[in-house]
Amino acid sequence: MKKVPIRMCLSCRERKEKKSLIRVVRTLQGTLEVDPTGKKAGRGAYVCPVPECVERLDRKSLSFAFRIEVSEKEVLSLKEALRTYLGGQAKEVRHDKGQSV
């Protein structure tokens, strides 16, 4: 039996399976990005794929997780990227449910 990796959401602090969370990464260039593959190089942190957790992200928790000082502008940019990512995921789910099998 394989051990399932568990990670904590930055917003709600709940522990969940790694594959059920969205990875956010601080790249080697120092930018914060959404990492849908979970394989980008850099320091990572995780967020639940729900709008409430995305909106609850703040500068303090991101600064602590990434061990750098994160600006408010970077927080807003990351939230927008996460919203866009979640919007794309929702469209895929709706599209899949609309297909007849």
Residue 40's CATH number: 3.30.1230.10
Q: Is residue 86 part of a domain?
A: yes
| Total count of domains within the chain | 1
Q: What pLDDT does residue 101 have?
A: 41
The range of the structural domain enclosing residue 82 comes to: 6-95
Confidence band (pLDDT; 50, 70, 90) for 100? very low
Q: Is residue 28 part of a domain?
A: yes
| pLDDT tens digits, one per residue of 18-75 | 999 999 999 999 999 999 999 999 999 999 999 999 999 999 999 999 999 999 999 9
Q: What pLDDT does residue 88 have?
A: 84
Residues 77, 96: Cα–Cα separation, whole Å: 29
Q: How many residues does the structure list for the chain?
A: 101
Q: Which residues contact 62 (CB under 8 A, 6 or more apart)?
A: 10, 32, 45, 70, 74, 75, 78
Q: Is residue 1 part of a domain?
A: no
Q: Is residue 15 part of a domain?
A: yes
| Cβ–Cβ under 8 Å, residues 47 and 21 | yes
Q: What pLDDT does residue 61 have?
A: 95
Q: Is residue 100 part of a domain?
A: no
Q: Is residue 34 part of a domain?
A: yes
Q: Is residue 75 part of a domain?
A: yes
Q: Is residue 65 part of a domain?
A: yes
Q: Taking 80 as the threshold, does the pLDDT of residue 90 lie above it?
A: no
Residues 6, 84: Cα–Cα separation, whole Å: 25
